[in-house]
Amino acid sequence: MGSTHAGKGAYTAEESKPYHDKLRLLRARLVGDTNHLAESALNRTRSEAAGDLSKMPIHMADIGSDNYEQEFSLNLLAAEQDTLVEIDSALARIESGEYGACVECGHRIKKSRLNAIPFTHYCIDCASERDQEARG
């Protein structure tokens, strides 16, 4: 992803500060969420969550629900882990003075896009082009 264009559209340290703060808050919230999701997905069954620690068999539908909820939580956890990686990458770009420059074309990413997705690597044009390529 390292582009020769990286610095030309970058935001100054002062321009990046609000995004730095927003990214730190978002990261802290996601870390808390991922810890909670991991705990609920990996460590607790329905009966434990309800406080029933007996070994009494439960209905098969409850087992299916437990499996679905665990899989759903694990999928959310994976997505949030990916977002944490993106946030850490954005924070590193702020530190290196490259934040706000599209890693593809080097142009400045609009503030409206950064307000919506503060960890984005791409301007809207390059992101759209990448989405079209991914769809085939």
For the chain, helix, strand, coil in percent to 5 are 65, 0, 30
Structure tokens at 112: 């409206």
**Residue 111 domain flag:** no
Report the largest interatomic distance among the alpha carbons of the chain, rounded to a whole angstrom: 65
User: Does residue 47 contact residue 136 with C-beta atoms inside 8 Å?
Assistant: no
What pLDDT does 63 receive?
Answer: 62
**Residue 118 domain flag:** no
**Residue 126 domain flag:** no
Average pLDDT, the chain: 81
**Residue 51 domain flag:** yes
Q: What are phi and psi of 108, to 5 degrees?
A: -65, 130
User: Does residue 109 contact residue 116 with C-beta atoms inside 8 Å?
Assistant: no
Q: Name the nearest CA neighbour of 62 among 80, 50, 76, 74.
A: 50
**Residue 95 domain flag:** yes
* Cα 73 to Cα 41: distance, rounded to the nearest angstrom: 6
What pLDDT does 77 receive?
Answer: 78
**Residue 1 pLDDT greater than 70, yes or no:** no
**Residue 44 pLDDT greater than 60, yes or no:** no
**Residue 104 domain flag:** no
**Residue 45 pLDDT greater than 60, yes or no:** no
Q: What is the DSSP letter of 11?
A: P
**Residue 86 domain flag:** yes
Query: How many structural domains are present in the chain?
Result: 1
**Residue 106 domain flag:** no
pTM higher than 0.85 for the full model? no
Q: What is the DSSP letter of 65?
A: H
What pLDDT does 72 receive?
Answer: 77
What residue numbers bound the domain in which 58 lies?
13-99
* Cα 95 to Cα 11: distance, rounded to the nearest angstrom: 11
Higher pLDDT residue, 33 or 49? 33
Spatial CB neighbours of 58, under 8 Å, sequence gap ≥ 6:
46, 47
Tokens 């309800």 found at: 50
Give 51-110 pLDDT, tens digit per residue. Answer: 555 555 566 666 666 677 777 767 777 888 899 999 999 999 999 999 999 999 999 999
